[in-house]
Amino acid sequence: MQNPNEDTEWNDILRSKGIIPPKEKELTEDDVVNIVESTIKEKQSNGKQLEDCSLDELDELEDEEDERVLLELREKRIAELRAEAAKAKYREVREISAVDYVDEVNKAGSGVWVILHLYKQGIPLCALINQHLNELAQKFPATKFLKSVSTTCIPNYPDRNLPTIFVYYEGELKIQFVGPLEFRGPNLSVDDLEWMLGQTGAIPSQITEDPRPKPRDALLSALNQQDDW
């Protein structure tokens, strides 16, 4: 096949008809010099052209640029830490009454998740959940954890509905867990509760799969234990 870049009369005819593309222009040494000089002239620093800088001055400019980038990153990180610190202000489970409800829940503020536990003394599962919530409040300080004696917060609230957890976001009820069956009975672990609350979005839990074994897995585990006997 004939080279389309060759300078032949036949190729010139083909180019004029648009059958083959125009001949690629080869860069000369002068072309390269002109491109480099044009690029250098476009980049200036403090009114001084880069081609006029010495090697030491170029190194200094590089150091200054690195320092500027590091300073920007530092300031950005400080801003992020301040924002996180502003949110991470709860760190405990606070007791409230009906009088506090509007301010603590409905007016919690923009971007605030609230977890409210209704409980009663003398109910073991309520006591267990309060224990787990104390741990989770420390782990997720940006979430507001509250608790209230059920009949103090809601008059005549039935004991059969205990324990109850209400999850709010920006004052709006998102989900509720009502009664012992919702909490998987007396063997509820702190990981179980964290996973449940993490599914609502109220806490940024890293537990993405249900920590409680599936029935089939539990059965296999029991059979394996019998074999060990």
Residue-wise pLDDT for 89-129, tens only, equals 788 999 999 999 999 999 988 889 999 999 999 999 999 99
Q: Domains of the chain: which residue ranges?
A: 61-90, 94-200
Q: Note the pLDDT tens digit of each residue in 123-147.
A: 999 999 999 999 999 999 999 999 9
Name 189's Cβ contacts closer than 8 Å, sequence gap at least 6: 132, 211, 212
10-31 tens-digit pLDDT: 666 666 766 666 665 555 556 6
What is this structure's pTM?
0.59
Residues linked to residue 149 through DSSP beta bridges, in sequence order: 119
CATH T-level fold of 94-200? Glutaredoxin (3.40.30)
